[in-house]
Each structure stands twice: as C-alpha cells, then as structure tokens.
Amino acid sequence: MPTPMTTRPCWVEIRTRSLEENFRFLAGLASPHAELLAIVKANAYGHSLAVCAPAVVRAGAKWLGVTSVEEGIVARALCPDARVLIIGGVFPGQAAAAIQFQLTPVAWEPWQLDELLAAARAAGGQPGSVPVHLELDTGMSRQGAGINDLAAVLARFGPGSRLRLESVMTHLFAADEADGGATLEQLARLDEAMGRISAAGLFAEWLNVGASATLLAGQARLVSDLAARYGMKAMLRPGLALYGLVPKFDPAFDSDIEPASLAAARATLQPVLLWKASVAGVRAVPAGATVGYNATFIATEPMRLALVSAGYGDGLTRSLGNRFSFLVRGQRAPLIGRVSMDQVVLDVTEIPGVEHGDEVVILGAQASESGNETITAFDHAEAAATIPWEIFTRIAPRVPRIAV
C-alpha cells in the first residue's frame, strides 16, 4: 500500500456530534413557536459546509441557509432533501440555476423577480412553481424592499404568476441589545408591511425573522405572535449559536432579568471548532536575540522558543503578535514577534519539555493538570478588535477541516 501523504500541521477539527446536539437544543428552545433554518452560509461560518450541512440535517434540520447560488448547488449535492435558501439573493444570470437545482431564492428587487420569472417561463414552470422569500427592509438599510416600495414588488406575484410568495423575512439588526427597543420598532414596521401585503391579497406560509440572539433572548414568541396574526408560521435563523457560541448582549442583561433561555444556552451549547497546529521546532536563544520581522521582540534573558506552522496566510490576525497566547502542554505560551504569513513563534521558556510535534491549540480547549485551558473565538475577537464571526470565516481554505 502507498504511504499516506502527510500534510502541513495546521488543521481544524469539527466536532459534528456537538453541532448536532446544539441544533437539537436550539430547536427545543424554538418549539413550539418556530421552525429553525440552520445557517451554513460562508462555508458554515468557516467550519466547512461539507461537514456541517449533513450534520445539521441528521439532527433534524429541514432548512439550510447559504450565501449564494454557487454555495446552494454544493449544499444541494450534500443534502438532496433539504430546503436550501439563498440568503444573498440571485445575481444576473443565476435564476436558471436556482430553479434547476431547486434552490429557494431570497429576493427584494423587481429585477431579481423578473429574472426568476423569465427563467421559470423558459423552464416551462407552472403558476406558483417557484417559491420566493421576500425580504423587507425594516430599518437596516441594507438588503430588502422598502415598505413604501412594495407595490412594484408585489405586482410580480399577481394571479397566474409562476412565482409564489412562500415567506416574508427581515433581519433584526440589534437583537443583541438587551433592552430590545430597536427590535420592537422593527417588528412594528414589519407588522405594517404585512398589513399591506395582506391587503394586496397575498399570503405567505412563513414569517422568517431573527437569528441566534433573537432565539436566545426568548423572543421566538414575539415573532410567532406576529406570524399568527397573518395566519403564518414563524421561522428563526440560528447561526453563531449553532456553532456553540452565545452572542454577547450589549448592554448585558441584569442577572435577575436574564431570560432562562439565555442561561440555558450558556450551560448547554458546545463549541464545534478547534483550530490546532504543532510545534515545528524548539530553539534556545540568548539575551539580546531578536525575534521575527523588524525585531519587534528582543529577549531580555535566555529563552526557549517554539516555531509553529500557522500564520496570517492561514487566517491568523497579524495584530496578535506580542499580545496573545496559544496553548501548549495545557499552558498559555505567549506569541512573540510578528505573525508571519506561514509561521509564528511562541515563548515556551516556562513550559517544561516542549518538543517537536507537540500539539498547539490556536482556538479551543487543551487539557492541563488543573483542568482545561481554553482560548475562545471571543478571545481572538477581543484581541483583534473584531467579532467571532470574522475570526471563524477568515480561517483560510488551505487549513483542512476534519470531522471528529
């Protein structure tokens, strides 16, 4: 037998069982008020669409949310029976592929609907054969039809149209604010828009509103009540929570008013992704030695340094140099010098026995004598002045994702 090809020691482990358990927990929080659409867009938040989409379907997900038609085609091959929602909408020339692969588009511009109509006509589609999720702008000023611009959009769903209004959706831009004021204002605008849609004689099966923060803040009932007012069913779209992280609320809930669902999530959700590398070599350097580009670190005493095969080409934030730590042998090892494209250097002077091949945890937990040491995506985000979503999605494609 041929010898297996070895790879550069920088990889991501995906715990599929944790992902499945997270989905089931979130589905339980939503029940009986709402159905869940599992967000696997942007390569499952950097976790791997190929690994994560089948896992959430195994856990019971009937709907998957992806960014684009291209990503939807991949999801369709992975999960033939799932409903696949194209959250980023269709772009010129993509409508035929969306119909061919039975993808469900989000749309809000008249030209998007016109392209879908033309593609449906060319494919010989029957009236109502193409389901569409109509997105409304209720205050984010990003994607979605304005409430005062609905007439032109709704006209595309008239009698005999090949398009079917399956869902109305909007995005709550401040669901992670504990006072909930902005969310209530958005839901009021959505209620007004739903009144106009109803007055136009149109009905949608689903009201698709809210992501992880909405669900964990215990607001599924709000969405469900609004949906019921128009004879619809509610749908929520968990993303970050699906991968085991609880969004931080700003300002934080007081402990005496924190929703029980949020406390339960903190106790139950399990991180899905672990990012690891290994020590490529260890060297001793004298006092006065410089480390990395531009000598941003100078040893003030003799030190032992470990070279690690991970850099900004793998998705590490370059600004972590001289201000972050990774885990080696269950202890935090400071990252010294600048982050290079393919490598970093750790100070292991105070960690006995570090040697070539030792596991390094960049993101995740590692056992220590006193328990587990953990580096979270929030730790990375705080050090890099960003958010966990960016930390996950910037992990480069060259870093293999391995289901464990």
Sequence-distant (≥ 6) Cβ neighbours of residue 121 within 8 angstroms:
162
Catalytic, 41? Answer yes
Cβ 235 vs Cβ 167: under 8 Å:
yes
Of 41, 45, 243, 276, which is the active-site residue?
A: 41
Helix (H, G, I), strand (E, B), or coil: what is residue 10? strand
8 A C-beta contact, residue 318 and residue 304 = no
- Three-state secondary structure call for residue 234: strand
Choosing from 45, 248, 276, 293, which is the catalytic residue? 293
Matching residue, tokens 């008239």: 158
The C-alpha torsion from 178 through 180 and 181 to 183, rounded to 10°, is 140
Contact present, 118 and 110 (Cβ < 8 Å): no
Asked whether the beta carbons of 236 and 223 are under 8 A apart, the reply is: yes
Q: Which amino acid is at 91?
A: F
How far, in Å, CA of 340 to CA of 323, rounded?
14
- What are the catalytic residues? 41, 293
